């Protein structure tokens, strides 16, 4: 059972500690540095120095082959046997974050998908409470629907998809103490609604959308700043109609999440996205479900039975329903499928998502003054442990 402010009661806030790494990728895309000590103090990174310059009175909390900034997952629907839609509570969020840490993820945006009515209000309240209680790893919220295109529902319940209204905007504009990422279909949004959401501090992405190139240009003018699971459930590139995908690849200000599980997106398209957007605007996401970090082989998703078959999560008709993958595997896949180097792949899992949700000044980089968040890995880029605000969490 979770204790109020449990994180604050046992993290070594007043203690100076260090993580020693054979290799450090700092999140900027720069080449790695070797034999370094990352000094942590008060939940922040105090300094990064050669191991030989580490003061003898500093306690070494962990050693690792590879250290990178704490990875950030902007799209995760469940984990540890729970789905956020089924259990919009701080307790469920704690389980999801713990499951994500098994794959090296330090921070998550728990994702609440399309449901009838204003169930997203309960989800927002749960995240607000979790942040206030200090539940480790809960950064903000991702609301994927219900303001989508009925032509591109994917696994979302079509009968719950609807246009956004003024009452919805009022609820979605409420501050919850962390980023609010909202995925909608811009062509279905009334004029000015995207601008109003962005003016409230929300981050708006396009997704599950039939938007034309022109629709996306207009939405970008109102403040839309990215796309959710690029290539999936959206209008594609054609010769005379670039669609949503073309609009994202053509605009040098838009971010995009992408699922590098080898199932959702063809390797050629992963390469295209990596080369077009670069490591500073392409964000690796898992789109994970309740199976993450468990031995589950099936679960119920809003009344549909979902099965884990050959690494895919599908319903009875074969429709994809999220992914069964952790973020460290996405990172490895991106290197293997696209040929990008490790520094670039690390950016896609750390600094790119941090910047996408407006937190690039405090997260996504290993440098003095940044939040003490690290993902520690073995020499094969498999997660070993995670550091969140100077506290160590084993991934195994």
Please list the active-site residues.
Answer: 287
Put residue 121 in one of left, alpha, beta given phi > 0 → left and psi -120 to 50 → alpha: alpha
Distance between CA atoms of 42 and 49, rounded to whole angstroms?
18
**Would you give the DSSP letter of residue 257?**
E
Whether the Cβ atoms of residue 343 and residue 29 lie closer than 8 Å to each other: yes
Pairing verdict, β 383-388 and 373-377:
antiparallel
Find the farthest-apart pair of alpha carbons in the chain and give their distance in angstroms, rounded.
Answer: 65
| Count of positions (residues) in the chain | 396
Pairing verdict, β 373-377 and 320-323:
unpaired
Distance between CA atoms of 202 and 238, rounded to whole angstroms?
31
Residues 6+ positions from 387 with CB-CB distance below 8 Å: 19, 40, 61, 62, 70, 106, 372, 373, 374, 375, 376, 393
* Closest-CA residue to 109 (of 84, 139, 134): 139
Distance between CA atoms of 144 and 184, rounded to whole angstroms?
7
Residues 6+ positions from 135 with CB-CB distance below 8 Å: 2, 6, 7, 90, 93, 94, 97
Residues 6+ positions from 12 with CB-CB distance below 8 Å: 390, 391
Task: Please measure the distance between the N-terminal and C-terminal CA atoms of the chain and give it in whole angstroms.
Answer: 21
Beta-carbon neighbour count of residue 394 at 10 Å?
A: 12
């Amino acid at each position: 059972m979770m204790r109020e402010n449990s994180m604050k009661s046992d993290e070594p806030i007043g203690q100076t500690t260090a993580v020693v790494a054979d290799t450090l990728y700092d999140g900027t895309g720069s080449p790695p540095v070797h034999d370094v000590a990352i000094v942590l103090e008060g939940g922040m990174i105090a300094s990064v120095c050669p191991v030989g310059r580490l003061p003898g009175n500093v306690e070494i909390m962990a050693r690792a082959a590879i250290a990178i900034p704490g990875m950030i997952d902007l799209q995760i629907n469940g984990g540890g046997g729970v789905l956020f839609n089924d259990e919009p509570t701080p307790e469920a969020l704690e389980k999801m974050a713990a499951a994500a840490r098994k794959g090296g993820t330090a921070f998550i945006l728990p994702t609440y998908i399309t449901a009838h009515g204003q169930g997203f209000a309960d989800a927002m309240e749960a995240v607000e409470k979790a942040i206030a209680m200090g539940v480790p790893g809960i950064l903000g919220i991702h609301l994927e629907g219900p303001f989508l295109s009925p032509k591109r529902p994917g696994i979302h319940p079509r009968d719950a998809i609807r246009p956004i209204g003024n009452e919805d905007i009022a609820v979605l504009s409420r501050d919850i103490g962390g980023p609010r990422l909202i995925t909608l279909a811009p062509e279905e949004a009334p004029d000015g609604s995207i601008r109003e959401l962005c003016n409230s501090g929300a981050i708006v992405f396009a997704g599950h959308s039939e938007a034309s190139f022109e629709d996306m240009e207009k939405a970008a003018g109102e403040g839309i700043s990215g796309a959710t699971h690029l290539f999936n459930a959206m209008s594609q590139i054609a010769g005379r109609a670039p669609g949503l995908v073309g609009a994202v690849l053509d605009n040098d200000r838009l971010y995009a999440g992408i699922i590098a599980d080898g199932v959702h997106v063809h390797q050629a398209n992963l390469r295209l996205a990596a080369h077009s957007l670069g490591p500073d605007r392409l964000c690796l996401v898992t789109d994970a479900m309740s199976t993450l970090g468990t031995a589950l082989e099936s679960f119920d998703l809003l009344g549909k039975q979902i099965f884990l078959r050959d690494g895919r999560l599908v319903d009875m008709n074969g429709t994809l329903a999220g992914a069964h993958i952790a973020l460290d595997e996405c990172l490895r896949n991106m290197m293997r499928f696209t040929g990008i180097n490790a520094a670039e792949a690390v950016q896609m899992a750390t600094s790119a998502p941090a910047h996408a949700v407006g937190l690039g000044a405090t997260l996504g980089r290993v440098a003095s003054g940044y939040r003490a968040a690290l993902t520690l890995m073995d020499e094969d880029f498999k997660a070993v442990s995670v550091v969140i605000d100077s506290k160590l969490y084993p991934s195994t």
